Structure 1
């Protein structure tokens, strides 16, 4: 295989469910090819660095192989290699999100009718002051 379009490669590597979603991300400036914004039809080369957003995370991967057909997930993982910096950043950010979620205490349940009335009474009193 000589050349593969960037949107096709991202789809084949299973970063996006459809080529349309890959195209939308590329055109929106979310995907960076060798540190710069790229067009959808950019030809992917071996050894290129691509930054791809995935939910809360941003993957930085090096192209190891080319493919224009979508295969199974194990085969798709063989198309790229994630950089060590990207792995460290993703684990660090995931840990920060986990700790932030632990700090947030959700109430055990919704207030019942009596508690709602008390809350409303308190809010009215604060509004009068």
Structure 2
């Protein structure tokens, strides 16, 4: 798989709890891909893209490193992205 829908990837990576929440997050303009605001949930992302996501509890900066066909448990998402945000204490 070379590309995946933005809303689907956000849901698979467990950034949000539901795919509809992922679509709403994107439509409201809270997601940037490589610094450019994206408002289309169906926009295709690829490995290497950097997503900046504004959430209620802060901002996450994630680099896409992989895709999956299904949403897995919390352990399985570690191979989908690299967290580029500030180290947490």
CA contact (8 A) 1:6 1:44 kept: yes
Counterpart mapping for 1:53-72 below 5 A:
53-72=54-73
CA contact (8 A) 2:2 2:47 kept: no
Greater RCO, CA 8 A, separation 6+: 2
Match of 2:36 in 1: 36
**Which structure's residues are more often helix, by fraction?**
1
Equivalent position SS for 1:14? coil
Match of 1:87 in 2: 86
Q: Which has the larger radius of gyration?
A: 1
- Unpaired stretches in structure 2, ≥5 consecutive residues: none
Counterpart mapping for 1:45-56 below 5 A:
45-56=46-57
What's the TM-score once normalised by structure 2's chain length?
0.89
Equivalent position SS for 1:40? coil
Q: How many residues align?
A: 88
CA contact (8 A) 2:26 2:41 kept: yes
C-alpha distance in structure 2 between counterparts of 1:15 and 1:8, whole Å: 10
What's the TM-score once normalised by structure 1's chain length?
0.63
Q: Which runs of 4+ in 1 moved over 6 A?
A: none
C-alpha distance in structure 1 between counterparts of 2:60 and 2:69, whole Å: 20
C-alpha distance in structure 2 between counterparts of 1:24 and 1:9, whole Å: 14
Q: Structure 1 residues 71 and 47 mapped into 2: Cα distance closer, same or farther (>3 Å)? A: same
C-alpha distance in structure 2 between counterparts of 1:68 and 1:23, whole Å: 18
